[in-house]
Structure 1
Amino acid sequence: MQSFQKPENALKRADELLSVGQQDAALKILHGAIGHRRFRSQGWDSVQETIMIRHVQLCVDENKLRLARDGLHQYRIISQHANIQSLGKVIAELRSRAEQKLTQAKESAAGASASPKSADAPVLPGQGLGDLDSVADSPEDLLLSTLQIEVRSAEARGIHQALRSVWDVYKMVLDLLRTTPKLERVYHETARKAFLFCKENQRPQEFKRLCDVLRSHFALILKNRHKEDYESLMRPDLHLETRMQQLVVASELELWRECYATAEDLYSLGLHDYFLKALRTGQDLFHNSREKLMRWLAIYYEKLSRVTWVAENYLFHALAWIKLLLHVKGFKKNASQEDLQAMASVAVLAVLSIPISGAEKKPGDDAVTMGEGMNYGSLEQQKKLTMLLGHSTLPSREGLKAVLFTKDLVSLADENCQQLLSLIESEFTPLKLCSLCQPLLDAVSANPLLEPYVYPLKRVIFHKLIFQLSRVYATLSIKHFTTHICTASFLPWSHAEKLFVALVQEQQASSSSFGSASANSNANLSIRLDYASSAILFETPDAAAANTLRHQLCNLAKQIDKAVHMICPGQSMEERMDRRRFLQELPARLEAETRRMAERTRATHSRRLEKQEEQQKMEEERRRKEAEQRRVEEKQERERREEATRRREERRMQQEKIKQRSETAAQMLEEIKKLGTKASSNILIKGKQLGDINIDDVLQGNVDYDDLEKAQMMQLNQERIARLRQRRQNFRRVCHFIRACREEELPLLIRWQEEQLARDTQILLDMQNRHEEEHKAAFEAALEEKQIFEVVKEDKEKWVAEKIAVRQKDFEQQAQEQRERLLHVLRQAKIQRARARKEEHLKKLKIEVERKRMEEEQKKYLEQLEKKRQEEEAKAKRLAEQAEKQRQRELEIEEKQRQLDLEASAALRSAPRAAPASPQKVEGSISPASSVPPSAGDSWRKGDRTETARRRVPAQSQGRGEQDEGFERWREGKVNSGNGNEEEKTRPRFRVAAAALSEHLSAGKEGRDEIQNGDAQKPEDDGFTTVSRNRRK
């Protein structure tokens, strides 16, 4: 097969082949291009979409849908991330092509069946054909085809092939798109088209398979619904619409079991829940959700009514019709009165058709209410049907009748239906019931919609008649019954006999199902047909017979005793006395027997308990052994599985290696074969020609990729040189040919030019002459017309002048009115502008006044701030000056103290070491005791004396007046500034000064205490006291 590096070339080649009728070759080329690695690697583009559309068309035409499946899978991988809608377009083309082929086959078959030759055996499209899913003919079919004449015509075979192609296309598309996001609409459209296909061609088996496929796909979506890509696949509107189509088609194909299963699917999808949610919230769950859900729910009820009618479940058939009627009445605003009347009539007759399975039911009889309609399924099935119809409790005949009256549905029904309801449910007329109902039934049977309910109604009327007759008569002749009560026109005697038997069987079943108490409470009916006397016997059991089941042992004992006396009438007196004695001793014996039975019971119970304990121990031991054996077996099985898994993994790895080597070898061999095209088979690769290379050479390593590349480059060079040579030859050939053509063409062109000039000149002269003639004729016609209109010229001018005068007057009047109106508008506009300017001026004045007021307030506020700031700065300046003066005083005191210390130290050095015992105090000098030189341990005194003196001075300044008190108040936060911002700005500086002064004060106090508590005696009038005294002065 030819390979193309570009998809465009493959498409062009396929079109060329199609133009000459080679469809098979074109399909192979397109399929090869789709499977090429370049087709997958280059990404999506429009050329690929065109190739796929052409490919699926050819696959359908050639009946090669397997190739179409492979191509669609390849194209899905390419387009699912780039343009998934392109895949939907290709699938739509595939469907339409297959459906078009089926339509053509049907038209050809219809044309053939209309011909005289095929009139005896007309072709019925889609009917009587084989299974569409059969892969091939069975051996039996092949054998029969060789032994008998072909029955089907060529048209029938063509239709069968077309049907099979369409069916395969639908299955292929559904399988491809079952888990493809963003194409869920195409998936559901395909499913609905498949439903229509099954309906139009009457394919029930294929429809069943299609329903199973859709259920399996939905189960797969539910299994993976937690994934993000699967959220779009759970759209309720698409699933509900598809299932509704499935329900409709199933009912039209009369596949009632499938119709019931589809109704269950719709309920599980939440049809009722979505409808109730749309009504409560009032918002669209999806596009036009309210209208769609109302329509779908009506169809749902209607199809369920048909299913229950076919199943002869009249109870739920009536419930479905009541639900449908209430739904249409409540939500379809444009429903006509005729439709409501027809539906109400059907609902009333459906309720009346529910069989009466016993005697007249009491409204509060729960057991009988649950028993109604139970002949059609178990209790679970009844509950499921109730759930599907959206009913809260199990329905009953009396309950449905109550709904008819409470919802006012009876008044909507036909008059005949209302009369039937009153006769059957309210009247007690056993002798005239059939005769009164017969005309009403005849009127009902005339309506095609109500005609199916006639026989069920007759059966219910007959049961009602029998119940009423059993209350009045004990015996009734058959002749009187058939001639006066239930005539043959109402119900033949043969049908009446069957209904008698069915009624008795229902009574027996009801008695066995609900027990004797229930049967007695409803007055069980016992009917017997006596053909010997030709009578109907209504037997009503008495109280003793009614309790036969409860007292049958007592009755049996009495009858046996009577039989014994009848058999042995001569019983002796002794035996009677013995019996009497036995009966007298019986109570004492009963007590002893009771005790003995109790002891025996206890012994039996103890033995049973012991046996149970022993069995329990044995069971526990057995379970323990089984568990141990199971653990051993599980361990052995686990080891065996692990060993088997290891061996399988080794074999798989080995097979993968072999497979990889084989694939690589096959790929290399394919490349080699590609090189062997055209005239390059004489290329040598390692001493071997290209045509002689096989897969063994590649597997053995005799040929590798380097050899392939060299051979390919050699071949490309040879081809390029050959193309260049061919182009040069073509160029020279074309040049010579064109030069010769031009030399021969030149005299011909000159002659053609002259002839063309002559022809154009003649044409121009002819046109000019014709124009002059036409112009002259038009001028003469205009002159004639002018002479004709000259007669009325004066009258015309006079009339025009009158009209112009009238219109001029009107115009002047309208112009004056317009001017006045415009002047009024201008005045109003000027007034409005003046008012606007005035308002604008007042607004500006107000804004200006407000602005000036705000500026003045702001100016005052800023002046106050400035004043407060200046006061704060002056206050801070005063405090700074005081601090500076304090610092100067401290420096002076420190300097004086230092001088005093130096003088004292000099005096100490000059004084003798031995000091007198009682030193004298001299003013202005230092005590001799303090002049003792420091020892080695008192070395601190020399360095700390200056610091001690420094601390003395601040301590003496604590008694200052207003400055110290103001400073303390400021330090404690009692001084408040008028401006908060300025206070925040100046507060750090005051805090620093306060901290320094506090430190000096505390240091001075400590120094003073140290000097006062020291060992040395301080002179009375030293320098410190003199300075302090001077400060106080």
Structure 2
Amino acid sequence: MRAPFQRPENVLKRTDELIKVGQSVAALDFLYDALTGKRLANANAASTEPVILKFVELTIEQRRGKYLKEGLTQYRNIVQHKNPESMDNVVTVMLARITKHVTEAQQSAERATIGLIEDLEETESPEDMILSSVSGEQSQDRTDRALVTPWLKFLWEAYRILLDIVRNNVRFEALYQRVSNEAIDFCKTYERKTEFRRLCELLRTHLQNIGKYAHQQNAINLSNADTMQLFLDTHFHQLDTATEMELWQESYRSIEDIHHLIQQSKRPVKPQAMANYFEKLTRIMYVAKNPLFLAAAWHRYYNFIFRQTKVFTEAQLQEVANNVLLSTLAVPIIKASSRTVAAAAAAAGGKENKHRTQRFSNLLFLSSAPTRASLIGDLVSGDILQRVDPALRPLYDLVEEQFHPLSICREISPILGSKIAGSETGSKYGQLLCNVILTRLVQQLSQVYTSVQLDFIVGLAQFPAPYAMSSAAIERFMMHGARRGEFQLRIDHQARAVEFDTDAFDGAQSAGGNGAQLQASAADLMRAQLSSVAVCLANAQRVACPGFVAGAEAQKAAAVAAALAAMRAEHRVAVARKAVIDRRKEVVENAVARRERSEARERAIRQQREQDAEKQRVAEEQRRREVERAQREIDAVRRAEALKLAESIREKAGIVVDINDLDMLDTDKLKVLQREQLEKDKLDMQARLRLLARRSDHTERAYRRAELPLLADDYEQQKRADREHHDAAKDAVLGAAREKHAHDVALKKRVARVFADFDAVRQKLDTGRSEALAAERRRLREQLAEAKEERVAEYRRLRAAKDAADEEERLKREAELAAEELANAAKAAKAAELARLREELAVQRARDEELLRQRLEKEKEKEDGPKAPAKYVPPSRRAGAAATGSPAPVSASATPPPPPVSSSPRPEAPASTTGKYVPPSRRNK
């Protein structure tokens, strides 16, 4: 039953009281009931904000994500029309609290991990080694999973909840973008790649659903420039984070989202943002290993920034120009033949490749796919070559203009070795440039030669380190090119020669534009044969039939004049039609504007009427609720009294009585009913137990009698079935073994006929290549011996250096030991002197104790000598003695004071009785 409506101040007061007595869960439930109540929806946002803040605090402490989502959803409905800024404040406080808990959990995990280390000098405890061998986790990982992971999960859940609550709402669009950016930063800070993928998918879904919910009251309008700018900033931030985390698939999807937003945006995008877009696109194309679109992306990037001199410096422009040059020259120059393209399209799906090419072109804002010829033309027509590093400028002339197969590798080696291999930017294109150069070299050799030695091609294709290619690598490159249809050649391994084919009808077509060519190939001549024949026939016709040519030219001029006249007429008709369309459009727009104004007035009147009716309905509803509340209170009191009476009757009589029948029964009747009911229940229970026992006994006896004759039969059937299964399995194994043996014998006989031919061919091949193999083995042995000698010399040098270092370490250690021995000897002498002093002090102390003991014994002997009995002195004489100054007599029971102890011996007193008076004149004697 839902709690009745209370004022927000009373809700906070009650919550604080529950928290003080330790009832945090009850306080959260109380706040949840208060927030989800219908009466709180009409409360003031200023008075409701402390309630939601306290609710958020309790849900964070208890990590109740479901309560948090429902409470924030209710509060969004309260404040979205009147005070949307309050939602922003609540979200800020909530994220700050959760982030604080995450930080504290991390610090606690660090302290707990440090506290678990008992010995700082011990690298790893035995318990940790055993646990790591079993689970593969360290103590830090386990501590983080126990302390930090729950709060990280709750923070991620909070971001998901907030994005789901404030999505597709124009009043919270700034808050939505801020929470999205913070969620992206969360994934970046804690390196949560899985959560980042889910976040990107969630943001992409929200973006796609904007058009779906466009009819709602608070829907997002992407035609608004400010809203579009917020979405662009968020997705650019998402793109930067995906690139930094090296999530290239998410980077590509983010690029597509940004491209879609840029196409819808009516405001031009900031230059820095567009530069970032093209720069990230170059990195994505490099990871995708697509040289053509990588070069196109660098071209677009340069064309966009070369006029932005206030944003980008000359050094940055030169760096981009270097990338443009290298990426363009690294694009493959061969387009595969038609048969190879058709076979590849049939195998891999041509529509998919075409669709991917179109998508890449759209991302680059290109109407058609780029080609190597178009990229070379843009490179030459612009000022890119003027901005390129002077050390890289000759690269274009060597590869495109002055290419010569006999000298290209020698001329380009300094650039590849010093400028490209040593640069982080250029090293990405080094191998691609080598492939382009090798492709053009083989292409031009095929234009001149019919066959060449393989060693001749290997000698020409000598690239500097680290791009050097071995003979096997060059051979593999040519074979792959031939398989893809780029080259028409065959390799004769016996003669170590390369034979070029001259198929005039199926040749690989160069895609490199107007590159350097030694002469036209047969395929190029065949492709231009029809055009050459047409040109020759046109020239012959012009010489042989001048009248026909003049008539054709006159007809052409008449056709052009008629076409121009028709074009002017069509233009006039089109202008008139456009004017009519504009007038009709203006009339329609005016009618639409008038209709919208009238609809707006009617809507305002209707809203006012609805508001008045709503106020009246609310007032009537409030009066009705007041009446119902009073009636409910009366019914509740009556119900409580009736329940109390029924409870007392149930406890005393043990009978459940209906509240409506209480007036018809009294106590005696209830007791009689109780006794009768108990007796009846007791008899029924005894009868049921007897019947159940008899039935169980009979059933068990019948089961056992029926089971006895069936056990022996079942045993015999089981033995027969086991024997049959065993025999069948044995026969199946033996039959399979016989069939396999027969098949293997037949296969051996069939293969044995090939051994003679195989041995002959192998002997022929071994004989033909034995000398080359022997020379190669000698060379390898010589290289191995040289390497072994160098290794031995290096080992001896290192061993000598190590022996010298060990000798120096030994001398240093001996010096330290000698110094330590001297210090120990000094400490031993000092300890011996201290022990001698202690012994002398002990002897002197024993001597003093002996003298003191003797003196005490002597004094005790004096005290123990004979004493005279004391005489009685009357009181009258005592007073007189006291007046004259004589000492009073001492009683026999009194104990004399001990004599003073002095260091010098005193003369012994004359033997006299202690009780007699001795005058002062005689005391000294």
Q: Could you tell me the TM-score, scaled by structure 2's length?
A: 0.50
Work out which structure has the larger RCO, using CA pairs closer than 8 Å and 6 or more positions apart in sequence: 2
